[in-house]
Amino acid sequence: MSNGLLFALAGALLFALGAGGVLLLTHLLRRILAFNIMGSGAFLVLVGLAQRGSVVDPVPQAMVLTGIVVAVAATALALALARRLRALTGCDDLDVATEPKGKSDA
């Protein structure tokens, strides 16, 4: 088994782990972590799968390089939203936030 395939398999497991985390965890920061783990898993699958035959493939590498930068921007935006929500409602998760406690941004 080439190491490309090995890391692609690890990426598949990481993606599943992250997806489970996004669904199961309620704390917003924890969900953002889980979402990032999903993304890392997808990146590993992309590059690992293309390099199954142990030939370096620059095309998925370039795609993943831009993907990592977009992922950090998405994380920053998610954190900004989460912090704003926390400041407005004082709660850690979306379940409580959907029921406005008397005061919203009205």
Partner 1 sequence: MRRAAIVLGALAFAGALASALLALPPAPVSLPPAVAAKMDVSGVSHPVTAVLLNFRGYDTLLEVAVLLLALLGVLAIGREDRIVRGRHVERIEPVVAMLARLGVPLMLLVGIYLLWAGAHRPGGAFQAAAVIAAAAVLLNLARLTPAWTQAPGVRLRWGLTGGLLVFAGIAAMLLTGGTLLAFPPARAGLLILVIESALTVSLGLILAGLFLFLSEDRGGRP
Partner 2 sequence: MSAATAFDLLLAALLLWSAWRALATPRLDRAIVLFIAFGLLMALAWARLAAPDIALAEAAIGAGITGALLLDALGAWKRRAGKDKPGSPS
What is the contact surface with partner 2 in residues (CB under 8 A)?
1, 3-4, 6-7, 9-10, 13-14, 17-18, 21, 25, 27, 29-30, 32-34, 36-37, 40, 43-44, 47-48, 51, 56, 61-62, 64-65, 68-69, 72, 75-76, 79, 82-83, 86-90, 101-103
Calculate the alpha carbon distances from 101 to 51, 90, 98, 104, 105 in Å: 52, 10, 9, 7, 11
Minimum distance, C-beta of residue 69 to partner 2, in the bound complex (Å): 7
Write the interaction track for partner 1 spanning residues 10-29; mark x where CB under 8 A is met and - where it is not: --xx-xxx-xx--xx-----
Calculate the alpha carbon distances from 11 to 45, 49, 65, 80 in Å: 5, 10, 16, 28
